[in-house]
Structure formats: structure tokens, C-alpha cells
């Protein structure tokens, strides 16, 4: 199981937008998956063909643009981590009689311990993979229990009754926005043991998106089915209340365990990955990587405690990372147009569909920014 497919932002965003859009959420998922695949295929193929990290490649073609990209990605990573901290707090709130804020503080401290201990981190990663399978089984049970009207879902996926730009920007941002898609490509570059063909890169890029999409579709069907039966979701933790409605207290507690574990591993992963991007800005981040990562987790926790509103934060962080995608993808496409490689020709259809994604995401991001940002204050 890819643990990123069941993170706290993923669960909360899908639940809240399904609550708002009902069957038309199918259209949002369809559009977001198409955008995700085009964006990820472009970025992964461009980086692996050039055998360079995103910021390094950008700096070679457009001076200092890589530094701007790094700053934006790290801002997005910080936003993700604030969401992960809030998700971990929600998880402990389900499992124990503690507030979300107290749960987030405890989770941040545990996250730091996990980061500083490689043995614990490896065990935790295995545990989360097992829990991911449990979560998949629980989700399938809820879908069968809820019996969503599939004919309506198919109809509204093709002909939606309403189109919500914010939900599309947020879902795309939570899947390929910010550091996520770059981190995946960078992992391929760092794996010296594997000599990957471009066909394997394409397959890896698409498989990750398809897995996430499959999990999102299942959760959408589960939530829609529960809502269609007349259940009211708890605004304080809407995703958890879906599983409570279908599987009682046991399902609620299992969800809490999965949510917390997925969130806490994301806290560590997001912080570590964001700091690795900062290495290109200043050597201090290379020398003091462990300290910088710990501070990153503490800063994320402090911002969450100051701001509050965990469910709201989990949605906003996806939206923010959706705003970053037009710049990051556009920069990579521009690099590919300016840089000619003797051994690789970037597919024209992928290049121009990438520019279409940049234009569409930029347009939807501007509309979302105008409509949604005033609600933050």
C-alpha cells in the first residue's frame, strides 16, 4: 500500500467535498486524475531524461528559477506538514480522551523520536503498510454497507450538476502539487541500483496516480452511500464519522489508528523531504539536516496550535499546493523546450497537454484564490 494514498488530507478533502457535491464529486475525481497523470508524466520524464533534480535543472536554463521553485515547494511542504500534524491530532482524539491540540503536540514529539531513530522509522513504515491493507478492507466494507446508487454516480461523473474549481485544485494539489511529484522523481534518480528505462518511469508515474485514484473512488463511494442513507457527518472529524456510521465504534477506532499512523509517517516524510530541497539554497541545511528537520516539525506544530481548525487546514493545504503546480510544471516544460537532448525527445502530445494543464490550473487557481482566500480571515 502506498501510505500517501491514505493520508489525513486525502481522507478529509475527499469526505468534505463529497458532502458538498454528492454524486458530482465523481466528475471532480475524473478531471483531477487526468490532470495528475499529465503533470506527473511530464515532470518525471523530464527529470529522469536529464538525470537532474528539479531545482538544479531549472537553474541551468533560467538562472535562479530553481531557487524560487525550491522556496515554493518548501512553503507547500510546510503547509502539508501543518495538515499532517492536525491529522495526527485528530487521530489521537479518536483513540484517547485528549483534545486535537494536545494530540498534535504528543504526535509532533513522537514524530521527532521516530525521525531520530531509524529502526523505529522502518518498523513504523511496515506497520503503516499493513494498516493500509486494513484500511482498504474497511473501506470496501463501508462501500458494500452503504450501497451508493452507482447509476447516479456514473451519470454525474459525465454530466455533473455542479462544477467546483476549489475541489479540483485541492485534489490535484494533494496528489501532485508541491513537493510530492518531485520527491517521487528524485527517489528514482537516487536509486543507483536500478537502471530504469523511460517505459518503466512512465509506468511508475501512472501506477502511483491510479492507486491513489482507486482509493479516492472507494472513499467517495463510501461517503456518498452513507450520506445518501441520511446519516449526518460530524463536522469536527467528518471522515471518521463515515466509518463510525457503517462499522460502529470498532470501525471508528480502526480509522483512528490508520489516520494517526498515516499522519505521523507523513509528518516525518514531509519534513525530511522539504529540508532536502533546501540543501540547494544554503550549505547550512546540508550540515544541519537533522536539526533543521526537527525545527521544521516544531514550526509546523506551532502554526497549527496558533491557527487551529484542523479540518479546515487539511483542505487549505491541498489548495495551496494546487496553486504551486502551474509554476512548477510550467517551469519544467519551459526547460524541456529550451534544452535539447541528443538521446531523448519529449513527446509533443505530452508537452502541449502539459501546457494545457498549466493554463487550466492557473485559471482555476486564480478563481479559487479570489473566491476562497477571503474566507481565511
% pLDDT > 70, the chain: 93
- Smallest CA-to-CA distance from 136 within 280, 13, 243 is with 243
- Bridge partners of 344? 341
- Judged against a pLDDT cut of 80, whether residue 304 lies above it is answered with yes
Question: What pLDDT is stored for residue 157 in this prediction?
Answer: 95
Task: Provide the 8-state DSSP code for 343.
Answer: T
CA–CA separation, 92 vs 253, rounded Å?
10
Q: pLDDT value at position 312? A: 81
Q: What is the mean pLDDT of the chain?
A: 86
Residues 332 and 118: their CA atoms lie apart, in Å, by 34
φ/ψ of residue 344, rounded to 5: -150, 135
Instruction: Assess whether pLDDT exceeds 70 at residue 375.
Output: no
pLDDT at 40 over 80: yes
Q: Show contacts of 199-207: CB within 8 Å, 24+ apart.
A: 201/44, 201/45, 201/48, 202/41, 202/44, 202/45, 204/44, 205/37, 205/40, 205/41, 205/44, 205/45, 206/37, 206/40, 206/41
Q: Are 40 and 353 in contact (CB under 8 A)?
A: no
Lowest mean per-residue pLDDT among 34-48, 91-105, 170-184, 209-223: 170-184
- What size, in residues, is the chain? 377
Taking the C-alpha atoms of residue 351 and residue 326, their distance in angstroms, rounded to an integer, is 14
| Cα distance between residue 61 and residue 77, in whole Å | 24
124 — pLDDT class (breaks 50, 70, 90): low
**Residue-range domains of the chain with CATH:** 3-376 (1.20.1740.10)
pLDDT band at 174 (very low <50, low <70, confident <90, very high): confident
Alpha helices in the chain (DSSP H): 8-21, 25-50, 54-61, 65-95, 100-116, 118-146, 150-158, 165-176, 180-190, 198-228, 238-278, 284-287, 289-307, 310-338, 348-372
Alpha carbons within 13 angstroms on the beta-carbon side of residue 112 total 17
Of 52 and 118, more confident: 52
Check whether 62 has a pLDDT greater than 60: yes
What value does the mean pLDDT take over residues 177-185?
81
d(CA 29, CA 209): 11
Burial class (CB in 10 A: 0-12, 13-18, 19+), 98: middle
Residues 6+ apart with CB under 8 A from 267: 81, 84, 85, 88, 107, 108, 111, 297, 300
Q: Give 154 or 118, the one with higher predicted confidence.
A: 154
Dihedral of CA 239/241/245/248: which sign? positive
Q: What is the mean pLDDT of residues 167-183?
A: 86
Rounded Cα distance between 372 and 319, Å, is 10
- In DSSP terms, 341 is beta-bridged to 344
Taking only the tens place, the pLDDT of each residue in 244-258 is: 988 888 888 988 988
- Residue 173, pLDDT > 80, answer yes
Which segment of 44-53, 322-331, 336-345 scores lowest on mean pLDDT? 336-345
**So what's the pLDDT on residue 1?**
40
Give the residue-averaged pLDDT of 227-250.
89
Weakest mean pLDDT among 35-39, 61-65, 355-359: 61-65
C-alpha closest to that of 355 among 39, 8, 76? 39
The closest alpha carbon to 76, from 318, 285, 326, belongs to 318
Comparing CA positions, the residue from 18, 41, 38, 15 lying closest to residue 28 is 18
pLDDT above 90 covers a percentage of the chain that reads: 36
pLDDT in tens, 4-29: 556 788 888 999 999 999 999 999 99
- Cα separation, 331 vs 325, in Å, equals 10
For helices 65-95 and 8-21, angle between their N-to-C axes, nearest 10 degrees: 80
pLDDT in tens, 41-53: 999 999 988 888 8
pLDDT over threshold 60, residue 185? yes
On the question of pLDDT at 376 being above 60, the answer is: no
The vertex-254 CA angle with 252 and 256, nearest 5°, equals: 70
Q: How remote is the C-alpha of 198 from its chain's centroid?
A: 24
Distance CA 199, CA 280 (A): 29
Measure the CA–CA gap between 152 and 144, rounded to whole angstroms. 16
Amino acid at each position: 500500500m502506498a501510505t500517501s494514498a491514505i493520508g489525513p488530507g486525502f481522507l478529509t478533502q475527499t469526505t468534505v467535498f463529497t458532502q458538498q457535491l454528492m454524486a458530482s464529486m465523481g466528475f471532480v475525481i475524473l478531471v483531477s486524475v487526468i490532470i495528475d497523470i499529465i503533470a506527473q508524466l511530464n515532470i518525471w520524464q523530464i527529470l529522469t531524461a536529464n538525470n537532474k533534480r528539479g531545482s538544479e535543472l531549472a537553474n541551468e536554463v533560467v538562472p535562479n528559477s530553481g531557487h524560487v521553485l525550491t522556496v515554493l515547494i518548501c512553503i507547500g511542504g510546510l503547509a502539508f506538514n501543518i495538515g499532517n500534524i492536525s491529522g495526527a491530532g485528530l487521530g489521537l482524539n479518536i483513540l484517547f480522551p485528549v483534545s486535537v491540540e494536545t494530540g498534535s503536540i504528543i504526535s509532533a514529539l513522537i514524530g521527532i523520536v521516530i525521525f531520530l531513530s531509524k529502526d523505529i522509522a522502518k518498523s513504523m513504515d511496515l506497520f503503516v503498510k499493513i494498516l493500509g491493507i486494513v484500511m482498504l478492507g474497511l473501506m470496501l466494507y463501508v462501500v458494500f454497507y452503504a450501497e451508493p446508487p452507482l447509476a447516479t454516480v456514473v451519470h454525474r461523473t459525465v454530466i455533473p450538476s455542479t462544477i467546483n474549481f476549489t475541489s479540483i485544485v485541492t485534489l490535484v494539489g494533494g496528489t501532485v502539487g508541491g513537493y510530492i511529484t518531485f520527491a517521487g522523481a528524485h527517489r528514482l534518480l537516487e536509486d543507483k541500483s536500478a537502471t530504469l528505462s523511460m517505459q518503466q518511469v512512465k509506468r511508475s508515474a501512472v501506477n502511483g496516480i491510479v492507486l491513489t485514484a482507486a482509493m479516492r473512488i472507494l472513499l467517495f463511494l463510501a461517503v456518498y452511500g452513507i450520506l445518501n442513507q441520511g446519516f449526518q457527518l460530524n463536522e469536527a472529524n467528518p471522515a471518521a464519522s463515515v466509518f463510525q456510521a457503517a462499522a460502529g465504534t470498532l470501525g471508528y477506532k480502526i480509522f483512528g489508528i490508520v489516520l494517526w499512523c498515516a499522519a505521523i509517517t507523513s509528518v516525518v516524510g514531509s519534513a525530511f523531504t522539504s529540508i532536502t530541497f533546501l540543501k540547494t539554497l544554503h550549505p547550512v541545511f546540508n550540515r544541519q539536516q537533522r536539526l533543521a528537520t526537527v525545527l521544521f516539525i516544531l514550526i509546523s506544530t506551532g502554526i497549527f496550535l496558533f491557527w487551529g481548525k484542523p479540518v479546515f487546514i487539511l483542505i487549505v493545504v491541498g489548495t495551496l499546493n494546487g496553486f504551486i503546480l502551474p509554476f512548477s510544471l510550467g517551469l519544467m516544460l519551459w526547460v524541456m523546450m529550451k534544452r535539447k537532448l541528443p538521446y531523448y525527445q519529449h513527446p509533443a502530445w505530452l508537452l502541449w497537454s502539459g501546457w494545457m494543464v498549466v493554463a487550466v490550473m492557473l485559471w482555476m487557481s486564480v478563481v479559487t484564490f479570489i473566491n476562497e482566500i477571503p474566507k481565511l480571515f
